[in-house]
């Protein structure tokens, strides 16, 4: 089969690799119909996340995939050939302390698809086929109202952001810093949760236009100081909630400065483990920091799928392109360089 393979920093290849086979009675083989490229994949391509995910040239990529069940192991009871399914980006063991307490993405035996050997060395989802171990605990059967493309935001992006924004109770003024895929998802989820106003901060005109179509008030930081914008929308006090969706070093301090006393900062973008902020200032202002990255996806996947099916969340506002799997190298380049309006790209085998 054909698969997207990491070739080193800045290099993506399509290679012929052996088809995956059933290795265990609880395995399922999925024929992939759509797989999206994640910001994490782009960071691996840039070489900026390799301390956490030590990917090696030759490793497969892709952890956001949707497909049709092609073959089931002998121990599978609930799933059958021909069903459309989506996976979370990872597989959990179901028996460790963290799994028992519902923190499944903190599982002591967590394995990820297409996320290096250190993460369990499962196959990549940007391929024609994937083997899914522990399939009955892992796969979700898709609602027929949700298309393959739409469902590619369920393994990670939209489900994760939804979980991170679930604490909103309505009528908040929210600042979303960074309008890439994560920021756009955050705007949508804030609106869904009943936010009064969402200020979307970025400087790419195309991304700001998408943010506006998600219902946000846009702030171009090349033209306007975001802090001034925040103050003018909040009678000078700061936003109730700021969502950091930048995923680059050095912005968190600025995001924190936008929040009012007793407000919250939700961290939805990837932060380098050494990233710092003035914890003393935040403590004095009673600002709550909410980690939002890699929440227990499987717990929220069904709800987010239903919200898409009911057209209350619209992945089309995030998914900018659909391209053939064979064009993966071009697609990675477009996302990495933000070329041709690329926000998030779906690959189709």
Q: Answer yes or no: are the C-beta atoms of 141 and 166 closer than 8 Å.
A: no
Question: By C-beta, is 156 or 240 nearer to Zn ion?
Answer: 156
CA atoms of 244 and 78, how far apart (whole Å): 39
How many binding residues for Zn ion (CB under 5 A)? 8
* Strand stretches in the chain, DSSP E: 2-8, 11-16, 28-36, 65-72, 84-86, 90-91, 111-112, 129-132, 140-141, 173-177, 197-202, 217-220, 239-244, 259-267, 288-291, 319-324, 344-348
User: How many C-beta neighbours within 10 Å does residue 176 have?
Assistant: 35
Interacting span for Zn ion (CB under 5 A) from 130-138, 150-158, 169-177, 237-245: 150-158
Q: Which long-range contacts link 47-56 to residues 24+ away (Cβ below 8 Å)?
A: 47/9, 47/10, 49/270, 51/273, 52/273, 53/115, 53/116, 53/118, 53/119, 54/116, 54/117, 54/118, 55/6, 55/115, 55/116, 56/6, 56/116, 56/117
Is 106 a binder of Zn ion (CB under 5 A)? no
Selected binder of Zn ion within 93, 106, 217, 257 (CB under 5 A): 93
Taking the complex as a whole, how short is the minimal distance between the CB of residue 259 and Zn ion, in angstroms? 27
Residue (of 213, 198, 197, 175) closest to 318 by Cα position: 213
Selected binder of Zn ion within 37, 79, 107, 127 (CB under 5 A): 107
Tokens of 343: 């926000």
Interacting span for Zn ion (CB under 5 A) from 25-33, 78-86, 152-160, 167-175: 152-160
Selected binder of Zn ion within 156, 202, 240, 244 (CB under 5 A): 156
Is 38 a binder of Zn ion (CB under 5 A)? yes
Question: By C-beta, is 241 or 245 nearer to Zn ion?
Answer: 245
Q: Please, which of residues 169-188 interact with Zn ion by CB under 5 A?
A: none
Question: By C-beta, is 25 or 108 nearer to Zn ion?
Answer: 108
Interacting span for Zn ion (CB under 5 A) from 50-58, 107-115, 206-214, 228-236: 107-115
Question: By C-beta, is 103 or 167 nearer to Zn ion?
Answer: 103
Taking the complex as a whole, how short is the minimal distance between the CB of residue 88 and Zn ion, in angstroms? 10
Q: Answer yes or no: are the C-beta atoms of 292 and 160 closer than 8 Å.
A: yes
Tokens of 232: 């003018």
Interacting span for Zn ion (CB under 5 A) from 33-41, 229-237, 303-311, 329-337: 33-41
Is 61 a binder of Zn ion (CB under 5 A)? no
Residue closest to Zn ion when measured from CB atoms: 38
Residues of the shown chain interacting with Zn ion in the complex, contacts defined by CB under 5 A = 38, 40, 92-93, 96, 99, 107, 156
């Amino acid at each position: 089969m054909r698969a997207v393979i990491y070739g080193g920093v800045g290099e993506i290849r399509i290679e012929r690799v052996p088809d995956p086979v059933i290795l265990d009675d609880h395995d399922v083989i999925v024929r992939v119909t759509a797989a999206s490229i994640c910001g994490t994949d782009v960071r691996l391509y840039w070489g900026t996340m390799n301390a956490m995910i030590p990917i090696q040239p030759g490793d497969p990529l892709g952890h956001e995939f949707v497909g049709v069940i092609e073959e089931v192991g002998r121990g599978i009871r609930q799933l059958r050939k021909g069903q459309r399914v989506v996976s979370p980006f990872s597989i959990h063991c179901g028996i460790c302390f963290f799994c028992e307490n519902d923190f499944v993405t903190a599982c002591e035996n967590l394995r990820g698809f297409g996320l290096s050997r250190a993460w369990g060395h499962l196959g990549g989802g940007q391929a024609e086929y994937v083997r899914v171990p522990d399939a009955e605990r892992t796969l979700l059967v898709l609602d027929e109202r949700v298309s393959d493309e739409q469902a590619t935001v369920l393994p990670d992006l939209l489900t994760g952001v939804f979980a991170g924004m679930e604490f909103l109770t309505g009528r908040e003024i929210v600042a979303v810093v960074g309008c890439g895929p994560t920021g756009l998802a955050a705007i949508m989820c804030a609106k869904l949760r009943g936010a009064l106003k969402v200020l979307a901060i970025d400087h790419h005109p195309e991304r700001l236009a998408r943010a506006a179509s998600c219902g946000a008030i846009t702030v171009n930081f090349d033209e306007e100081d975001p802090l001034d914008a925040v103050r003018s929308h909040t009678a000078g006090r700061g936003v109730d909630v700021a969502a950091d969706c930048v995923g680059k070093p050095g912005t968190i301090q600025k995001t924190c400065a936008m929040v009012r006393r007793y407000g919250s900062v939700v961290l939805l973008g990837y932060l380098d483990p050494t990233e710092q902020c003035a914890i003393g200032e935040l403590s004095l202002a009673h600002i709550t920091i909410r980690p939002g990255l890699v929440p227990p996806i499987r717990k929220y996947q069904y709800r987010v799928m239903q919200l898409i099916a009911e057209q209350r969340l619209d992945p089309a506002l995030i998914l900018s392109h659909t391209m053939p799997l064979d064009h993966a190298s071009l697609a990675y380049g477009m996302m990495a360089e933000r070329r041709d309006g690329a926000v998030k790209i779906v690959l189709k085998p």
